[in-house]
Amino acid sequence: MSDTLRQELLEIFVGRATRRYGLSDVNQLQHALQAAALAEADGASPATVLASLLHDVGHMIHQLGEDPAARGVDDVHEELGAKWLAQRFGPEVSEPVRLHVAAKRYLCTVEADYFSKLAPDSVRSLELQGGLMSPDEVDDFRALPHHAEAVRLRRYDEGAKDPQASTADFDHFLRHVEACRLQ
Complete domains list, the chain, with CATH: 3-180 (1.10.3210.10)
Among the listed residues 86, 34, 84, the one whose alpha carbon sits nearest the alpha carbon of residue 59: 84
Mean pLDDT of the 127-135 span: 92
Beta strands in 37-77 (DSSP E): none
3-state secondary structure of 136: helix
How far is C-alpha 12 from the geometric centre of its chain's CA atoms? Answer: 14
Q: Are 125 and 158 in contact (CB under 8 A)?
A: no
Q: Give 141 or 130, the one with higher predicted confidence.
A: 141
- pTM of the predicted model, to two decimals? 0.90
Q: What is the pLDDT of residues 91-105, one digit of tens each?
A: 999 999 999 999 999
Q: What is the pLDDT of residues 168-177, one digit of tens each?
A: 999 999 999 9
Element (H, E) at 3: helix 3-10
Q: Are 97 and 153 in contact (CB under 8 A)?
A: yes
Q: What is the pLDDT of residues 37-77, one digit of tens each?
A: 999 999 999 999 999 999 999 887 766 566 656 666 566 68
For the chain, percent of residues with pLDDT exceeding 70:
85
Task: Report the C-alpha gap between 123 and 56 in whole angstroms.
Answer: 17
pLDDT band at 116 (very low <50, low <70, confident <90, very high): very high
